[in-house]
Amino acid sequence: MNKILKSEIPSVRLTSGLYALSKLACAGITFLLLSLLVLFLPDMIGWPEEWPVSAAYAIYAYGLPAALVADLFLRLLRSSSLVLAFLLYAAAGAGAGLWIEAEQGGTLLVSVVAGTLLLLVFRAALILVERLPLLVPVFALFIPLLCLLLFT
């Protein structure tokens, strides 16, 4: 008889908490990379003047929910394909760009391209966080606060 011990069943709160922390870590990595890119290459790549919101607001208010939607579709499709994941994240990024453009104004093409690129970086950050879980507390909590203090 196979009995399942209570200690073998993962806690729902723990699982959802770790998921939320990993998403925050991905947003922190994306925000740090974007901030460093704009800081070190201000002439070549700057935050577009026609972009209606700040980088932090775009990542945390629009990119994070779009990534959650992409994860939902990945879960519904029960797929572990990396290509499908990047395609869903690109579509979610385009949707986030449309969402920003619809709510905040701005140029449609710039919003869609920027949203797509930001969500693709977000997905790459998720792969990094899954492979190096010790990065999660640093990028979920400390790096975003440090970036907000330094870059705003």
With a cut of 70, list the residues of the chain below it in pLDDT: 1-9, 41-53, 147, 151-152
Give me the residue label for tokens 């449309």.
98
* Both structure tokens of 56: 């932090």
114 in Cβ contact with 53 (< 8 Å): no
What pLDDT, on a 0 to 100 scale, did the predictor assign at position 13? 79
Nearest CA among 120, 150, 148 for reference residue 28: 148
- The pLDDT assigned to 124 comes to 92
Q: How far apart are CA 75 and CA 84, in angstroms?
A: 12
pLDDT for res 120 = 92
- The type of residue at 52 is P
What is the value of pTM for the model shown?
0.79
pLDDT for position 152: 60
End-to-end CA distance of the chain, in Å? Answer: 61
